[in-house]
Structure 1
């Protein structure tokens, strides 16, 4: 029986598990022991590596324009699809990308929702 991997990229939290020989195992953060990882990514202004999860959540109130949450809600959507929803977001969606939403971090750096999701799952 092959090993099966399951990934839940959630709007609020994410989780990875696998089943080996029919026995499910949830992967946990080696530092915290937590299975659920908040689906939040903070992009530091100094260009260092993005922060993910609980550590990134701390920046939601400090630097909200560079701390992305609920990126899953943006996946597969174009800017016209977001009409009426952008005012509630603390981060800016780039007007240069109409067909696929991109987040403008304000320093020339633009990221897509799938890129944010990939960082959460890394």
Structure 2
């Protein structure tokens, strides 16, 4: 749901600003002064979606494969889910109001996604 909302409420509206500005420039007009900010906001939300992709795939796969006998997700607790939700909401808040920082590069977002996957697994499996 968060990834869907990132696309429709953050990325797409900001991409429309960038597209409209580029069309205005191509037609001989002036660029929208808000284009740079809109592009940065769309990029941050897009990178956040990329960040969420690996944990989403991991937990989708583990929901079936780790149920086949004693597995890594046998002892999921409410405190663990709460901690995981706080981590996810903090990252989403960064997507809305934050900065790129570590996820500014493709390498950074992939490594961050691996770390996020491990952190979320640790939260739900070990707490």
TM-score (norm: length of structure 2): 0.27
Whose strand proportion is higher, 1 or 2? 1
- Structure with the larger RCO, 1 or 2 (CA within 8 Å, 6+ apart): 2
Whose helix proportion is higher, 1 or 2? 2
TM-score (norm: length of structure 1): 0.28
Q: Which has the larger radius of gyration?
A: 2
